[in-house]
């Protein structure tokens, strides 16, 4: 009974849509694909967070690029993203579903809490990189990341991190591997908590995304020591911050943001979404999102994104297996 | 200061902002009434809708939802013993008992009045003292927070009722339930049995709905349908004596709530439990607590509302969320292109002061809306329970489902409903369990962080004057009642002896 209703509904929706679009997108025949009715952008984190911002911006950019698309954002949080990804796994083969992804895609399987890997999904597009800055309270006795490393040789340096699989823990571990020093770790749950801990002098250093600390950087309560990025930022607010490699620490690691489709969709659907996303990153909506959040617009489409994930996964594994 | 506030009122009093403030407060109240939908979910769900507005309007409406839903949660706590969120669990203890005695109207009215007074006090503190308070709150690092959590756990003594050991055991059960899920430090999954739903732990809102709402319905069915409460309209009104009696409780609750609300993360739940505990200790009529003491409603309601406002201290002055709901609100700031941080007051004065002015207006609207409506809401209890039970169960399950859009929440409600029924039959106290469940993760986090900061040793607590002071307070809270009652008994015994002796003279 249920199935009959669903089929009827889908059929009705398809007919309505076909009538409405006048065949703009074409039907399923001939390997072509276009979504029927609304598309869902699943965000595996709560509304108001970084992933949610990314998901809504992507949905907005997709709609701006293609007036026929209607993308609804759905938040499904829990288990550091695991619940949302699990639901997405269940949508295998469904070309109407997208997911706003980020480093949790790799960190969750490496953490051993889930039984899927990034290969179970279809990478569509990496939309941006978010690098981190090593930051310290304004009155801290260090001015550069090298100062911190030198200090760590003779005294205890307490680094605040946001969990074992967090990007901040990754860059600190890479720094340790490079320089042979060691930082002590204290785990917090969010960028906000880390900022509070820095302001209250509870910890010596933290590694935060520019978007998370820009307010404190501008007010001068927190200072940036170096950027764990390949090149200096071009943003006016950040362009004076030297990179870690300028200071002799060759570490650069970004949190990526991107879009996934479920696994098991056909090539036509995949090509369709890659094409849509390629148009989406040309829109003003996309640019505003990237600039507001101090991201780097490093994009990678389809198979390139898949290659990036593979490479990133290997690096991450090396760090976490240490 | 005054100029700024005037500027704020100019912004907040534009017809458009006033209208959306009203809508926010009203919708918030409705959301709060629905079980499961607390302020955090309410703000998160409606956030996308406000993206079309001017930033200040959007934030005014979202903030209205925030404190509106705090009050809405009170309504169900009192009427049907279903707290909308953890912060109103304590209100059920005496609020529901008042309702069962036909005094629901008074309970709702005192909650509205208490919330209003707390709101005004905490807003004045916010305006006058936000920066120094925020500075002070920053000194609460992990060791201090751990001490605060110990203090919170110590309040269980006040809730344990006659059987302290049983109360402590229930708190331990709560702590144990809180152990389920991924440990934040190391990412190890505990007691999840390979279920992804258990990764983020057993959700306490669902547990509360199960224990309180479903448990109570099952218990009522077992006992045979209770008669609907036929209180006259006059009895539903709050009396002057009620207000006089609650005065102290409201004031103490307001200041206590503000203090706890300023600490990032400690929040309104702890404040409401502490406020109740304090009232129970200072009250002259201790025996009435748990049987419908009006102070038992006034204190926690004032405290959780003050804490909700105080949450804005770190949020607005530092850009650091004070609680779960303000965290979502910070997301709303970002989505509207406003970057919260220490410079917010300087860079966006009309927005910040407009928002603060709207808090005043919103709370006046809440009071004006709820005071006259309190007796009307109370009339719901006239509905025969035959109709009420299915309705409570339905809203409980629908509400639970809506939290995460999954059946898992519904199962949690059902399981804890049966547990709640069992606990009611056996007369086990439920509040300690909820407190354990809420404080468990916070306590664990602070403990792990403190130990990491202290390089594996908790001796760091001794170097921290604030932490030490709070720990001493916690200790006092545990031993003081025993010592006092013993002293009192000795003195009475001595007095009795004396009076025994007198006639012989």
Complete domains list, chain A, with CATH = 2-130+256-321 (3.40.190.150), 132-247 (3.40.190.10)
Question: What is the mean pLDDT of the segment spanning A81-100?
Answer: 89
Locate tokens 């927070």: which residue?
A: B145
pLDDT of residue A322: 58
Whether residue B422 is contained in a domain is answered as yes
pLDDT of residue B233: 66
Whether residue B48 and residue A56 make contact (CB cut-off 8 A), yes or no, is yes
What does the alpha-carbon distance between residue A162 and residue B84 come to, in Å, rounded to a whole number?
30
Contacts of A191 in chain B (CB under 8 A): none
DSSP tag of A243 = B
Note the Cα B64 to chain centre separation in Å.
17
What does the alpha-carbon distance between residue B166 and residue A58 come to, in Å, rounded to a whole number?
53
Q: Classify the complex by whether its ipTM is higher than 0.90, answering yes or no.
A: no
Nearest to B334 among A46, A53, A219 (CB): A53
Whether residue A216 and residue B187 make contact (CB cut-off 8 A), yes or no, is no
B491 close to B499: Cβ distance less than 8 angstroms:
no
The low-confidence residues of chain B, meaning pLDDT below 70, are: 160-161, 184-187, 225-228, 230-234, 265-266, 498-505
pLDDT of residue B501: 55
Evaluate if residue A13 carries a pLDDT over 60: no
B450: left (phi over 0), alpha (psi -120 to 50) or beta: alpha
And the tokens for B109? 């009215």
A124 close to A270: Cβ distance less than 8 angstroms:
yes
Question: What stretches of B153-290 adopt beta strand conformation (E)?
Answer: 181-182, 189-190
Locate tokens 């690691």: which residue?
A: A253
What does the alpha-carbon distance between residue A130 and residue A104 come to, in Å, rounded to a whole number?
14
Evaluate if residue A2 carries a pLDDT over 60: no
Best mutation site among A42, A45, A46, A47 for testing chain B: the one with the most B CBs within 10 Å? A47
Whether residue B418 is contained in a domain is answered as yes
pLDDT single digits (tens) A141-189: 999 999 999 999 999 999 998 877 778 888 999 999 999 999 999 988 7
pLDDT of residue B498: 64
A207 close to A172: Cβ distance less than 8 angstroms:
yes
What does the alpha-carbon distance between residue B204 and residue A271 come to, in Å, rounded to a whole number?
43
Pick from A108, A222, A144, A134: nearest CA to B320: A222
- For every residue of B154-194, DSSP letters joined together read HTHHHHSTT-HHHHHHHHHHHHHHHT-EE-TTT--EES-TT
Nearest to A187 among B330, B449, B455 (CB): B449
pLDDT of residue B5: 87
What does the alpha-carbon distance between residue B138 and residue A198 come to, in Å, rounded to a whole number?
9
Q: What is the mean pLDDT of chain A?
A: 85
Which residues have a Cβ under 8 Å from the Cβ of B423 and sit 6 or more positions away? B211, B215, B430, B433
Contacts of B45 in chain A (CB under 8 A): 47
pLDDT of residue A31: 61
Q: Which residue of B has its CA nearest to A202?
A: B141
pLDDT single digits (tens) A263-300: 999 999 999 999 999 999 999 999 999 998 999 999 99
Question: What is the mean pLDDT of the segment spanning A87-99?
Answer: 90
Whether residue B505 is contained in a domain is answered as no
Half-sphere exposure of B180 (CA within 13 A, CB side): 21
Best mutation site among A161, A168, A215, A289 for testing chain B: the one with the most B CBs within 10 Å? A215
Whether residue B279 is contained in a domain is answered as yes
Whether residue B404 and residue A193 make contact (CB cut-off 8 A), yes or no, is no
Whether residue B275 is contained in a domain is answered as yes
pTM score, two decimals? 0.83
Half-sphere exposure of B427 (CA within 13 A, CB side): 5
Nearest to A52 among B192, B199, B331 (CB): B331
Chain A, 95 to 154: residues with Cβ < 8 Å from chain B are 111-115
Contacts of B318 in chain A (CB under 8 A): 195-196, 199, 216
Evaluate if residue A70 carries a pLDDT over 50: yes
**Distance to chain B for A26, nearest Cα, Å:** 31
What's the total number of domains in chain B?
1
A289 close to A61: Cβ distance less than 8 angstroms:
yes
- Choose the weakest-confidence range: A49-53, A119-123, B417-421: A49-53
SS3 label, residue A230:
coil
Contacts of A114 in chain B (CB under 8 A): 196
DSSP tag of A66 = -
Whether residue B252 is contained in a domain is answered as yes
Whether residue B60 is contained in a domain is answered as yes
The 3-state DSSP composition of chain A as helix, strand, coil percent (nearest 5) reads 45, 20, 35
Chain B, 435 to 454: residues with Cβ < 8 Å from chain A are 445, 448-449, 452-453
Question: Domain range spanning residue B253?
Answer: 2-500
What does the alpha-carbon distance between residue B401 and residue B411 come to, in Å, rounded to a whole number?
9
Using DSSP bridges, classify how beta strands A255-261 and A122-130 pair: parallel, antiparallel or unpaired: antiparallel
Whether residue B348 is contained in a domain is answered as yes
């Amino acid at each position: 009974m249920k199935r009959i209703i669903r089929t009827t509904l889908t059929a009705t929706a398809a007919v309505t849509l076909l009538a409405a679009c006048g065949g703009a997108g074409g039907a399923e025949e001939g390997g072509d694909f276009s979504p029927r009715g609304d598309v869902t952008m699943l965000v595996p984190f709560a509304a108001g967070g970084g992933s949610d911002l990314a998901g809504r911006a992507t949905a907005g950019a997709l709609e701006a690029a293609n007036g026929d698309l209607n993308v609804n954002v759905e938040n499904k949080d829990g288990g550091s993203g695991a619940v949302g990804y699990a639901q997405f796994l269940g949508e295998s083969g469904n070309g109407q579903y997208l997911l706003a992804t980020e480093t949790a895609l790799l960190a969750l399987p490496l953490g051993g809490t889930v039984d899927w890997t990034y290969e179970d999904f279809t990478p569509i597009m990496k939309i941006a990189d978010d690098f981190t800055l090593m930051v310290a309270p304004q009155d801290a006795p260090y001015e550069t990341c090298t100062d911190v490393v030198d200090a760590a040789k003779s005294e205890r340096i307490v680094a605040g991190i946001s969990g074992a699989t967090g990007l901040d823990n990754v860059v600190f571990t890479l720094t340790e591997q490079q320089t042979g020093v060691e930082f002590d770790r204290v785990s917090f749950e969010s960028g906000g908590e880390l900022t509070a801990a820095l302001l209250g002098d509870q910890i010596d250093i933290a590694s935060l995304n520019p978007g998370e600390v820009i307010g404190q950087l501008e007010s001068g309560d927190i200072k940036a020591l170096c950027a764990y990025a390949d090149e200096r930022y071009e943003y006016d607010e950040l362009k004076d911050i030297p990179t870690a490699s300028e200071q002799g620490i060759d570490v650069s690691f970004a949190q990526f943001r991107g879009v996934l489709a479920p696994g098991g969709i056909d090539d036509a659907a995949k090509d369709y979404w890659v094409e849509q996303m390629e148009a989406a990153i040309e829109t003003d909506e996309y640019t505003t999102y990237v600039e507001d959040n101090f991201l780097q617009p490093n994009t990678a489409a389809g198979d390139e994104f898949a290659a990036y994930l593979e490479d990133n996964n290997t690096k991450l594994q090396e760090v976490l297996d240490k | 200061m005054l100029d700024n506030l005037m500027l704020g009122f100019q912004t907040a009093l534009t017809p458009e902002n006033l209208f959306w403030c009203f809508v926010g407060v009203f919708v918030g109240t409705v959301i709060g009434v629905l079980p499961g939908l607390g302020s955090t979910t309410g703000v998160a769900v409606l956030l996308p809708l406000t993206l079309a507005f001017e930033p200040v309007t959007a934030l005014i409406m979202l903030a209205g939802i925030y404190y509106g839903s705090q009050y809405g949660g009170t309504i169900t706590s009192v009427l049907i013993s279903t707290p909308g969120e953890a912060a109103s669990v304590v209100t059920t203890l005496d609020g529901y008992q008042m309702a069962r005695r036909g005094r629901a109207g008074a309970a709702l009215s005192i909650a509205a009045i208490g919330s209003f007074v707390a709101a005004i006090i905490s807003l004045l503190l916010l305006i006058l003292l936000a920066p120094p308070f925020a500075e002070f709150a920053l000194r609460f690092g992990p060791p201090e927070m751990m001490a605060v959590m110990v203090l919170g756990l110590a309040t269980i003594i006040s809730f344990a009722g006659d059987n302290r050991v049983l109360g402590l055991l229930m708190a331990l059960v709560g702590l144990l339930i809180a152990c389920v899920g991924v440990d934040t430090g190391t990412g190890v999954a505990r007691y999840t049995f390979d279920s992804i739903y258990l990764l983020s732990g057993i959700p306490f809102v669902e547990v509360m709905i199960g224990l309180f709402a479903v448990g109570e319905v099952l218990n009522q069915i077992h006992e045979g349908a209770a008669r609907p409460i036929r209180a006259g309209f006059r009895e539903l009104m709050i009396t002057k004596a009620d207000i006089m009696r609650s005065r102290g409780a409201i004031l103490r609750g307001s200041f206590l709530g503000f203090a706890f609300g300023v600490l990032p993360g400690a929040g309104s739940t702890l404040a409401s439990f502490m406020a109740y505990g304090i009232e129970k200790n200072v009250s002259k009529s201790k025996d009435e607590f748990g049987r419908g003491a009006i102070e038992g409603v006034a204190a926690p309601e004032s405290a959780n509302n003050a804490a909700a406002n105080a949450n804005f201290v770190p949020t607005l002055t530092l850009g650091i969320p004070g609680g779960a709901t303000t965290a979502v609100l910070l997301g709303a700031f970002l989505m509207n292109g406003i970057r919260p941080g220490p410079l917010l007051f300087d860079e966006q004065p009309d927005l910040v002061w407009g928002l603060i002015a709207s808090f005043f207006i919103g709370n006046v609207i809440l009071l004006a809306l709820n005071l006259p409506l309190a007796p009307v809401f109370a009339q719901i209890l006239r509905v025969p329970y035959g109709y009420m039970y299915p309705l409570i169960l339905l809203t409980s399950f629908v509400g639970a489902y809506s939290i995460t859009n999954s059946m898992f929440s519904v199962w949690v409600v059902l399981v804890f409903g049966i547990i709640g029924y069992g606990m009611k039959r056996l007369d086990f106290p439920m509040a300690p369990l909820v407190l354990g469940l809420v404080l468990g993760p916070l306590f664990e986090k602070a403990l792990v962080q403190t130990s990491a900061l202290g390089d594996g040793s908790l001796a760091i607590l001794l170097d921290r004057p604030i932490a030490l002071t709070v720990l001493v307070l916690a200790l006092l809270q545990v031993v003081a009642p025993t010592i006092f009652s013993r002293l009192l008994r000795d003195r009475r015994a001595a007095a009795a002896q004396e009076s025994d002796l007198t006639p012989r003279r």
